[in-house]
Amino acid sequence: MSQKNISIEAINLKKVYLRGSEEIAAVNDVSMRINQGDFISIIGPSGSGKTTLINLLGFLDNPTSGELRLGERSIFNHTKPLSERKLTKIRRETFGYIFQNFYLIPTLTVMENVMLPLTFYQKPDTENEAVKLLRLLGMEHRKDHLPGQISGGEMQRVAIARAMVNRPDILLADEPTGNLDTKRSSEIVQVLRELNRKVGLTVIMVTHNQDLARCADRMFEMRDGKICQIACEPEDIYCNNASPDLS
Amino acid sequence: MITKFQVAYKNLHRKRVRSLLTLIGIALSAWVLVSLLGFNHGYETSLNKDIDNMGFQLMIMAKGCPYEAATMMLKGGTGLKYMKESIMDDVAKEPEVEKTTPILMAAVFDPNKGESGGIAGYFGIEPKSFSEMKPFLKFRQGGWFTDENAYAAVMGYEAAELEQREVGDKILMPEKNIEFKVVGILERTGTQDDGTIFVPLKTAQKIFARTDEITTIGIKVKKGVDSTRLEEKMYQLPDVQIVSLAQVKDTIMKLISTAKVMVLSIAIIAILIAMVGVINTILTSVWERFQEIGILKTIGAMPGDIFKLVWMETLILCTTGGVLGVILALILSRVTDLVIRHVLPYAPSGGLVLIDLKLVLITMASILCIGLLSGLYPAWKAGKIMPLEAIRGEVGR
């Protein structure tokens, strides 16, 4: 994975939506810093703004105001929104994304899905990354299967491999276990934890499940667009389950 | 690594029936288009060939003289007009003229022909210039006479069949009671030559007392020369009439132009339907994959990549449909030929639908252009999908 020291810093970040004539601040004056190699989780009730925040941190959306810094670069600076083209460029060089609904292409095999990002953009020395990742995530034996032929947990592993194939610096996971049962959820979080520990990947995970959120180094809670850091309990049962072999 | 082409190809497999129906639509359009262009090409080529088989592009004859054997016979062999053979020299001097041949047409009443007798057509010709003009004439038996004063005859296929003559037999010219030795019998040509008896020009002039006179001069114009200019010049000659086969061709082409316009309209409608079909298929497929396309953008696809991906789907559909259409047209060209032949008032003897490589390439290029145009809008719409809208499921139509 990348050896660069990529941190994200949000300074007074704000995202306002208009509902009719009413202004709704989904993210309201949020300031936080996430360092390279951090594993943070963001929890909060529905509508608290956690997905909006992760979208802003992941450059999927432009903030209304505030500043967003990526490493030493100030990307959003109060006023001018970035074009979709510029956002895509930043996203593909820095981020990997996984979502609740996996969004795998049903007509492509597991291997083809993992390799798909390389079709559009490829960092140097990533030719064999797909095979390595599938092996790492215990999915090598399923590489020729179609998404419809594997379980939900396996689909999310494939989605993680796809997000990782271009060696991102930061992995954003929006409710990655939302469609999985408790056992599979635990396994997926273990996978993220291991990737964070073994390859120094920065992980930002949004979840509504407090038990899973406790696996992170730092846990944040969002309420009404505001954020606050809360304590973490690393000895939690979900974090101590037998982890998959990622050696 | 998986290529954009593979992704596009596999996407089309997602809704196989829909893709297949679109493909059939394009293939049918390509079939109609290639058949129509093949018809235009084939009809003109066959017509030109038929006209070339007449041997002459222009005929000069004395004013009022019937210009072909059928008319001459309908008139009972009367009404023939003559001109001086020396006109040949004036005609040959023209730079546009490649070859000329003199003909003395004559008709005699044969009481043994049919139930109550009939007219037999005799053409006095110079075998060398005449055969050069009509190189397609082939002999079933024998060959041309060589002595210009001989009493020898070459019989057209039907004339020989009617008289039951073979090479070496004698035939008697009625009215004149002169015997000719048959030296050659022609193969069937499908033209008026089949019913004609050819004799040496000098012999014919002697028998019919028309020394140094002829009825017709057949002219072959040099390649690439504007024959209308030559026609105008020929009209300067006194007491002659000009028959241009270009005029005959024009008349026939005008006759079938209505049919061509009709077929062209059908082809355009078929292409438009196929085009709408392609737009519908690709656009529907884009909306169905709205979220997926958004996700592709989050994993690194630029708007241009998405545009190319969707456009490629159109390209695959159109190329495959086009190739299938061309194959269909090649296989069914004989059937199309028969159908068109049945519908048209006049059809030349050769193939009516002529499909060659140039035509196939033109059709494929047209189908691809139309297909790519059809794919523009869906591809542009897909390229504009914002990843966040897609993730939220806000289908921004």
Q: What is the ipTM of this complex?
A: 0.82
Name the helix (H) or strand (E) containing B373: helix B357-383
What would the mean pLDDT of A110-131 be, rounded to a whole number? 86
Pairing of the two strands B152-155 and B178-186? parallel
Determine, yes or no, domain membership for A87: yes
In this structure, chain A runs to a length of 247
Indicate whether A4 pLDDT > 50.
yes
Contact A55 B302 (CB under 8 A): no
Distance of alpha carbon B125 from alpha carbon B205, whole angstroms: 10
Q: How far is B296 from chain A (nearest CA, A)?
A: 8
Assess A55–B contact: CB distance below 8 Å, yes or no. Answer: yes
Indicate whether A237 pLDDT > 70.
no
Distance of alpha carbon B152 from alpha carbon B173, whole angstroms: 11
Helix intervals (H) in A106-151: 110-120, 129-136
For chain B, give the mean pLDDT. 84
Q: Could you say which residues of chain B have pLDDT below 50?
A: 396-397
Closest residue, chain A, to B295 (C-alpha): A103
Give the number of domains in chain A.
1
For chain A, give the mean pLDDT. 84
Nearest partner of B264 among B36, B34, B31, judged by Cα: B36
Determine, yes or no, domain membership for A176: yes
For A120, the closest of B305, B386, B387 (CB atoms) is B305
* List of chain B residues whose C-beta atoms are within 8 Å of the C-beta of residue A162: 299
For A137, the domain range is 35-59+83-239
Determine, yes or no, domain membership for A25: no
Structure confidence at residue B320 (pLDDT):
93
What would the mean pLDDT of A148-166 be, rounded to a whole number? 90
Determine, yes or no, domain membership for A4: no
Helix intervals (H) in A65-140: 84-94, 110-120, 129-136
Contact B2 A91 (CB under 8 A): no
Structure confidence at residue B274 (pLDDT):
81
Asked if A170 contacts A196 with a C-beta cutoff of 8 angstroms, the reply is no
What does the CA dihedral B139, B143, B148, B150 come to, rounded to 10 degrees? -110
Asked if B121 contacts B92 with a C-beta cutoff of 8 angstroms, the reply is no
Burial status of residue B179 (CB atoms within 10 A of its CB: 0-12, 13-18, 19 or more): exposed
The three-state secondary structure class of A123 is coil
The three-state secondary structure class of B152 is strand
Assess A91–B contact: CB distance below 8 Å, yes or no. Answer: yes
Tell me B125's DSSP state.
E
Structure confidence at residue A177 (pLDDT):
86
Distance of alpha carbon B61 from alpha carbon B247, whole angstroms: 16
In this structure, chain B runs to a length of 397
Structure confidence at residue B170 (pLDDT):
93
Determine, yes or no, domain membership for A134: yes
Distance of alpha carbon B284 from alpha carbon B277, whole angstroms: 10
For B4, the closest of A91, A101, A119 (CB atoms) is A119
Structure confidence at residue A184 (pLDDT):
81
Contact A88 B300 (CB under 8 A): yes
- Give pLDDT tens digits for B68-94: 655 555 555 567 788 888 888 888 888
User: How wide is the angle at C-alpha A99 spanned by C-alphas A195 and B392, nearest 5°?
Assistant: 155
The three-state secondary structure class of A72 is coil
User: How wide is the angle at C-alpha B250 spanned by C-alphas B247 and B254, nearest 5°?
Assistant: 140
Closest residue, chain B, to A56 (C-alpha): B388
For A119, the closest of B2, B298, B386 (CB atoms) is B2
Helix, strand counts (H, E) of chain B: 13, 12
Task: Give the pLDDT band (50/70/90) at residue A3.
Answer: very low
Pairing of the two strands B178-186 and B213-214? unpaired
Question: Phi first, then psi: what are they for B242, rounded to 5°?
Answer: -115, 130
Contact B300 A117 (CB under 8 A): yes
Assess A106–B contact: CB distance below 8 Å, yes or no. Answer: yes
- Give pLDDT tens digits for B286-330: 888 888 888 888 888 998 999 999 889 888 999 999 999 999 999
Distance of alpha carbon B356 from alpha carbon B349, whole angstroms: 19
Q: Which two tokens stand for residue A241?
A: 């389950």
Indicate whether A236 pLDDT > 60.
no
* List of chain B residues whose C-beta atoms are within 8 Å of the C-beta of residue A106: 14
What does the CA dihedral A82, A86, A89, A92 come to, rounded to 10 degrees? 30
Closest residue, chain B, to A110 (C-alpha): B2
Determine, yes or no, domain membership for A185: yes
Pairing of the two strands A226-230 and B58-62? unpaired
Nearest partner of A154 among A118, A180, A174, A128, judged by Cα: A180
Asked if B273 contacts B25 with a C-beta cutoff of 8 angstroms, the reply is yes
Tell which phi-psi region holds residue A25, choosing left (phi > 0), alpha (psi between -120 and 50) or beta.
beta
Assess A148–B contact: CB distance below 8 Å, yes or no. Answer: no
Across A64-68, A75-79, B30-34, B120-124, least confident range: A75-79
Closest residue, chain A, to B289 (C-alpha): A105
Contact B11 A107 (CB under 8 A): yes
Determine, yes or no, domain membership for A28: no
Structure confidence at residue A76 (pLDDT):
77
CB burial string B90-129: b at 16+ within 10 A, e below? ebeebebbebbbbbbbbbbebeeeeeeebbbbbbbbbbeb
Indicate whether A122 pLDDT > 90.
no
CATH code assigned at A138:
3.40.50.300
What does the CA dihedral B251, B252, B254, B259 come to, rounded to 10 degrees? 160
- CA atoms within 13 A of residue A88's CA, in its CB half-sphere: 24
How many C-beta atoms surround the C-beta of residue B176 within 10 A? 12
In SS3 terms, B4-48 reads as: HHHHHHHHHCCCHHHHHHHHHHHHHHHHHHHHHHHHHHHHHHHHH
For B14, the closest of A99, A106, A118 (CB atoms) is A106
Determine, yes or no, domain membership for A66: no
Contact A91 B10 (CB under 8 A): no
* List of chain B residues whose C-beta atoms are within 8 Å of the C-beta of residue A92: 299-300
